[in-house]
Chains A and B, each alone.
Chain A
């Protein structure tokens, strides 16, 4: 199978799946993901795994950059003005309570379902660090799925803005939280001392670096955009800038998502005529979504699902209830609009790329040789199950909040 054929199959079959999903009133991305799962090496084995891990992964990296850019672009200060406080409060509560709920569930019930009896290892060296780490990565929400659904139903309003704002912020929280969790867990496993400096400096550097990079590239694009006179050259310019931002983030070791969100944020707030800079991407976003989510589905792996088993269900259960309760508390405390109070929790369930990226940090860490593989399988399996459950719930939340502009047919 050559690369072009693989992309062609992904786009066309995914598109068909999207149409079917729309017929039964599901979000299109659900269709894309299910088709992807069917095409995966574990099931029909149509898309070979070396392509998925090789050339096609570049598609994923670029797409995530584009999506982050669009999310940043939807957060104009004008809209954020009254919602800013709510967004901050809700983000703090929903992310921390997701951490807490998942952590507690695994800490108390984990040993009942998953046998893990390495010699000379106590409970506090196995289940406890596992609970802390998995809890921390559960803070993250997937920007891609959220944005795809918001755009599919052309949603806009205070609920949508709050949702996108929370999704954007809690990725930063997740980066910080995961780093803290890994440090804590390493201390538990190895019994070493805890250094505040080592715990906070790398994630803070990552966040600050991403912000700085996004600001820099954002201003660069503002100054360069008069050079691109036609829509076609503008498309090449925006594309080039997004790739520059992604590429530099990876070279510098900072977060491409945060950097691109910042770039979009700078452009939407610091430039008068910014519609064109996002409009050119709107033209092609459907193609990008179709390719991205179908490809995401192909990462499905039966062996991972089998290895993770019940643990992944615990993660999903804990995360759902945590996000839901946290969003309720946060929105009540900050006097958010009623639609936000009632339904925001339902919109925060998607998780994917960020979670996977963060959990891979554990794999590289030699301290977690005994629990690392289990953690990764459990989280990956929960991501896949989650991909199937979350999109319809996000759609439900947007419709209930009354912000969808596309009537149900």
Chain B
């Protein structure tokens, strides 16, 4: 089908699906994903393959919007209020999932150590877009929600470091020798990537603020904000930096140096919904559902132990940082969704280890289908248990 016609179908059917599935209390994200699977090339084939080609650009744009919005949560006021919890919880839930998945894979399933390390590292990733979408749809507000959004943002940085270390360890184990050298180099490289994203985001935020005094109308505000986010994302891609982190840092720096920065965040929220919709439907369309048939013991144990790791780690982090009781109890469950970031790192693993990478990738693809569909329910459940969803 023609490109523009496919987009029309995605938007219109997406609206319809969300409306229908709301009757059975499905989150909109899940409705979009299911619709995507239905009209995708594996089932009805309504979405042409060429469209999936621009999916990369659309998902980068949407992820950068999401990440930019997440940056707003790191204002100085917010940070002094929940900063400590966010740091501890994100660090511990990420490494909790990493360790638990690695050990369960190693001792329960008797897989080789390099494979287990990579699985563990991928397990640390979460899905910021899905989480943000559920929060927005449910209109959740409060300490729990703020902490959750902070954790989801910071999580990406930890995931980057953890994956770099695991990859280096796995490489060292496979090729044997020179392992320690690889490890420190990998650590430095991941720090460089984070530093690069920080540098880019900061620089763009400074330029952004400097020229923002020329803005007059609401229309100006939108062009300007949108243009800068895209410029920032485009540059991040160009320099091979993390799109997510660069956009988060743009938001973080902006919210802290510009007193009226809320205007920029708000203006974006008025227009981004069609993009979100298209993003999730396309994500669904590009899921390889047939892989679900290959769901084995490995995927199952990955699925379960990642959740256990997240929940345990988040509780521990909440306990150390003396967070409120709902945070200790439920925050980990809100972190269940997993999507693009995991697929991205799994793809790197596949490229680095052609022999065993294929198996890792297939497993992650299968569990991603599960997590994407089930995850939003977990997140919404956690938000409701924490009492932060108003009257629905």
Contacts and interface: CB of A to CB of B under 8 A. Distances in A.
Contact of A7 (B234, B238, B271): B234
B227 A12 contact: yes
Interface in A1-49: 1-9, 11-12, 15, 19
Max chain A C-beta neighbours (<10 A), residue from B7, B8, B14, B277: B8
B4 A61 contact: yes
A94 to B, nearest CB: 31
B15 A7 contact: no
B231 A9 contact: yes
Main DSSP-derived SS at the A contact region: helix
Contacts of B16: 227
A55 interface: yes
Given A243-B5, A247-B2, A287-B226, A8 B232 contact: yes
B274 interface: yes
B15 A227 contact: yes
A8 B231 CA distance: 4
B222 A240 contact: no
A81 interface: no
A19 B214 contact: yes
Given A2-B238, A236-B11, A12 B274 contact: no
Main DSSP-derived SS at the B contact region: helix
A65 to B, nearest CB: 8
B5 A247 contact: yes
A250 interface: yes
A252 B347 CA distance: 41
A15 B224 contact: yes
Contact of A237 (B5, B10, B15, B227): B15
Contact of A233 (B217, B228, B273): B273
Given A244-B5, A244-B12, A283-B270, A2 B234 contact: yes
B237 interface: yes
Interface string A52-63: 000100100110
B5 A286 contact: no
B8 A8 contact: no
Contact of B60 (A4, A15, A239, A290): A4
Interface string B217-230: 11110111011111
A4 B227 CA distance: 10
Interface of B: 2-12, 14-16, 19, 54, 57, 60-61, 214, 217-220, 222-224, 226-235, 237-238, 270-271, 273-274, 277
19 contacts: A3-B57, A4-B233, A5-B231, A5-B233, A5-B234, A6-B234, A7-B234, A11-B231, A12-B224, A12-B227, A15-B220, A237-B11, A239-B11, A243-B8, A247-B6, A283-B219, A283-B222, A284-B222, A286-B223
